[in-house]
Structure 1
Amino acid sequence: MNHPDRPDHPVTSFADLALPAEVLRTLTEQGVSEPFPIQSATLPSALAGSDVLGRGRTGSGKTLAFGLALLVRTAGRRAEPKQPLALIMVPTRELAQQVTTALTPYAEALGLRMAAVVGGLSIGRQIAALRDGAEVVVATPGRLHDLIERKACRLGRVRITVLDEADQMCDMGFLPQVTEALDQVHPDGQRMLFSATLDRDVDELVHRYLHDPVVHSVDPSAGAVTTMAHHVLIVHGPDRYAVTTEIASRDGRVLLFLDTRASVDLLTKHLRAHGVHAAALHSGKSQPERSKTLDGFRAGRITALVATNVAARGLHVDDLDLVVNVDPPTDPKDYLHRAGRTARAGASGSVVTLVLSGQRRAMSELTAEAGIEPTVTKVRSGEAELSRITGAKAPSGSPLDAGAPRPKNTNAPFRGMGTSKGASGSTGGAGGGGGAGGKGGKSRKSREAQQLAEARKAARVRRGG
């Protein structure tokens, strides 16, 4: 709840917050002139040392909302080896690196040392950074757990703890590691928790670890963002590959989601063979590969990022205006996390989901649960309606990788769910792999619809709904 004796009223300027001169100067140097709503709402409470519960989706400016307060309140103290003074926990390596990059200029201005503690990178270097002393640690729960187990990190002196994207950490199975860390930080310290939703696990964290928090709900869920358009495109089975290829060939960047690593790799190979500057992002890639891919996508050298759900977890890319669910999500929360990659910080964007006619009912149920009312359109490759909605256009057809043969069949299945046993993305003719153009078309669509419904049912069971 909010309290009259605490500074809960929003501010309109960073100058109103009595921030150190070094921070105000750095804000100007970084081109940050006015606080975003979440910063305006939460910074007065956070700077005063109150526990904060912030509800809002990613892309709203939360990093500076908790980061500036954490850094300013930590400034002037020095960490002993292996004993940080402030901790930020996030669900993914990418988000940890984004947070570290965003806060480093302000930390340096205040003379604070930061360390990113994530999987996929050298644990030896991270141990060394903690041994040398780091006031602020940004960590994924799994790697932090490993370092605690190795006695390379002790949390008893941590006075400020932030959980960012708390619902995503719980969804990804990190709740035991999160509670382990919270049980070890200083019991009288400040805690700030930010989450898009307050489901059962997050609610437990709030009641167990936050003391009389100031609550702010300052940013709508993806389903309520007025600058985000939602489309469900009904596609003919054998035409799905061509539709996806034309969307990926659009001018500008696009993020395409599929269910499995294998299908991500197969589609990426296909797109590159047809002249699309595509790259894959999934958990099977090393962290340096993932970082290089994201840097290329942000810079525009990569125009089509093909990803599993790992990219939906807190990933921030400026000015991304199109997200495509090539494989429909099976859970409303997955839909909203994927959708949240576009229309960020007041920008506009579109979310497109490709479904077969047999999947339409299951998709309607999912979007209803997510609070979404999408526009439903039947499309085919090469049609003006597809181009109007997505900017799709014909690919150049010039392979980007020397020596890589172009796949013979552009319409064979490339998704994991619903593909008939033994089918591959490079076999057969137009109806190959049991596609809808052959004898097995109707049964394959029925199987895909059934599997989508079963996957959604399993997801509801996991959520306890």
Structure 2
Amino acid sequence: MTTFTDLGVPEVLARALAAQQITTPFPIQTATLPDTLRGKDVLGRGRTGSGKTLAFALPVVTRLAASGTPRRARRPRALVLCPTRELATQIEATFAPLAAAAGLRTTTVFGGVAQSRQVTALDRGVDVLVACPGRLEDLLRQNLLTLDGIEITVLDEADHMADLGFLPVVRRLLDRTPQRGQRLLFSATLDNGVGTLVDRYLTSPVEHAVDPAAQTAVASTHHVLEVADVTVKRDVVHALAAGRGRRVLFMRTKHHAKKLAKQLNQAGIPAVDLHGNLGQGARERNLAAFSSGEARVLVATDIAARGIHVDEVELVVHVDPPAEHKAYLHRSGRTARAGAAGTVLTLQLPEQRADVRSMTRAAGISVTPVAVRADDALVRQLADAPGTVAPAAGGGGVAAPAATSGAVRTATADATRGGRQGGGRQGGGRTVPRRRPP
């Protein structure tokens, strides 16, 4: 069995991982670490939860510790760009024990909070800066830091940054980092301009991919439940939320997420909300309550579809079906993590049949909707023991990959926390020809 030290990770960092019960590399880590540790530019492709955070945290800490460059105020040595503050916080939490073991400092920079503490941390000097593009560019405009000393740049969830319209800012930020530095880009896809970033900023990158279809973790089962009207839908949602275990309910708007969380709490169902109208302190408190089990239900907008790593989410419910299949897949990826089972439900009104059918087909899922009411046995079973609902004859609401039978496999694994390592198949590394604009 391959170990982290076999891949070139220093013993001091391997011990820091072992202290978190992380001893076996994920496939994306096994694939990329030999190249990243040697200083090569790397393009890592894999879905959220495939182990990407450690795949770039380990080489960043290893190479900074070995470079010998002194730490200086307002001059970070490594930059990690990511799309959301929640993800920035979780990335920094992954870096923290590794950085401590190597004698390095880390900090985060993102909007939604006062910049004073962030500036204070930069003034003290940091080695690794984890940042969201908007706040970082704002601080640069104020001349509160420089990127001239960046030795390694990481773009995490690059496709999500593209979806959010951040690529122009990302390009401006990358233009301010030294061209000679190492650059790592991790993304699930290369669409919406991500491929252009690879061509422009990575020098002869080696590409590695993890194929989610080949992962071997326990499958998620997908159902589409049709409700006759909004009243029936409300009752079904409350029945599903009242079940045992941890579950995430996705809404389309911030207003409806807040409203549903309030209604659930009034009904005696411990719930918290997560959406863009919350301040950073409230977001962190709500996520902590959900992670600890104090609240069993997280009612969220698409802000939680990416980068929120919480183990043992048994059920994801698309209360409001998303507008497109990528959002469906990202939302659904909140369950079936770290080798655990997971179930995904989509609620549709009669007028949403065509849209939901198109969305699931685009996601590679074939599913037969089932009409339900709140007191149906299927709803009760999905609420209390979602993973026990077996595929039924003729579809029975159980999703399967198009052109196959059985449950859809949406295996993911969480590398930002200690615990089991599993699932996945690494793709072979290949060198992408260097293509830079004039």
Please state which band the TM-score falls in when normalised by the shorter chain: 0.7 to 0.9
| 2:290 pairs with 1:297 | yes
Stretch of structure 1 that moved more, 310-319 or 244-253: 310-319
Q: Which residue of 1 is the match for residue 266 of structure 2?
A: 273
Of the candidates 81, 84, 109, which is equivalent to residue 89 of structure 1? 81
Q: What secondary structure, in the 3-state scheme, does the structure 2 residue paired with 1:321 have? A: strand
Alpha-carbon distance in structure 2 between the residues aligned to 1:345 and 1:392: 19
Q: What secondary structure, in the 3-state scheme, does the structure 1 residue paired with 2:248 have? A: strand
Alpha-carbon distance in structure 1 between the residues aligned to 2:173 and 2:360: 35
Please state how far the C-alpha of 1:226 moved relative to its aligned partner.
6.3
Q: Which residue of 1 is the match for residue 427 of structure 2?
A: none
Q: Which residue of 2 is the match for residue 455 of structure 1?
A: none
Of the candidates 14, 27, 49, which is equivalent to residue 39 of structure 2? 49
Aligned residues: 383
Task: Please show how residues 65-76 of structure 1 align to structure 2 within 5 Å.
Answer: 65-75=55-65, 76=68
Q: Which residue of 2 is the match for residue 365 of structure 1?
A: 358
Alpha-carbon distance in structure 2 between the residues aligned to 1:46 and 1:21: 17
Please state how far the C-alpha of 1:314 moved relative to its aligned partner.
1.3
Q: What secondary structure, in the 3-state scheme, does the structure 2 residue paired with 1:255 have? A: strand
Alpha-carbon distance in structure 2 between the residues aligned to 1:379 and 1:124: 52
Alpha-carbon distance in structure 1 between the residues aligned to 2:199 and 2:216: 27
Please state how far the C-alpha of 1:358 moved relative to its aligned partner.
2.0
Stretch of structure 1 that moved more, 277-286 or 338-347: 338-347
Of the candidates 4, 7, 12, which is equivalent to residue 2 of structure 2? 12
* Maintained 8 Å contact 2:5/2:11: no
Rg: which structure is higher?
1
* Maintained 8 Å contact 1:156/1:184: yes
* Maintained 8 Å contact 1:221/1:336: no
Q: Which residue of 2 is the match for residue 171 of structure 1?
A: 163
Alpha carbons of 1:215 and 1:345: their partners in 2 closer, same or farther (altered >3 Å)? farther
Task: Please show how residues 255-404 of structure 1 align to structure 2 within 5 Å.
Answer: 255-391=248-384
Q: Which residue of 2 is the match for residue 462 of structure 1?
A: none
Q: Deviations over 1:154-193 (max 9, x none)?
A: 1111110111100001101111111111111110111111
* Maintained 8 Å contact 1:60/1:345: no
Q: Share of identical aligned residues, percent?
A: 48
* Maintained 8 Å contact 1:222/1:336: no
Q: What secondary structure, in the 3-state scheme, does the structure 2 residue paired with 1:200 have? A: coil
Alpha carbons of 1:376 and 1:224: their partners in 2 closer, same or farther (altered >3 Å)? farther
Q: What secondary structure, in the 3-state scheme, does the structure 2 residue paired with 1:184 have? A: coil
> TM-score, with normalisation over the residues of structure 1?
0.80
Alpha-carbon distance in structure 1 between the residues aligned to 2:10 and 2:276: 40
Please state how far the C-alpha of 1:224 moved relative to its aligned partner.
11
Alpha-carbon distance in structure 2 between the residues aligned to 1:361 and 1:220: 27
| 2:224 pairs with 1:232 | yes
* Maintained 8 Å contact 1:158/1:185: yes
Q: What secondary structure, in the 3-state scheme, does the structure 1 residue paired with 2:361 have? A: helix
Alpha-carbon distance in structure 2 between the residues aligned to 1:379 and 1:260: 24
Alpha carbons of 1:299 and 1:33: their partners in 2 closer, same or farther (altered >3 Å)? same
Q: Which residue of 2 is the match for residue 142 of structure 1?
A: 134
Query: Partner amino acid for 1:111?
Result: G
**Structure 1 stretches lacking a partner, 5+ long:** 1-10, 394-465
Please state how far the C-alpha of 1:223 moved relative to its aligned partner.
12
Structure 1 runs (4+) deviating above 3 angstroms are 221-226
* Maintained 8 Å contact 1:239/1:380: yes
Alpha-carbon distance in structure 2 between the residues aligned to 1:376 and 1:390: 17
Query: Partner amino acid for 1:335?
Result: Y
> TM-score, with normalisation over the residues of structure 2?
0.84
Alpha-carbon distance in structure 1 between the residues aligned to 2:217 and 2:175: 36
Alpha-carbon distance in structure 2 between the residues aligned to 1:48 and 1:386: 53
Please state how far the C-alpha of 1:370 moved relative to its aligned partner.
1.6
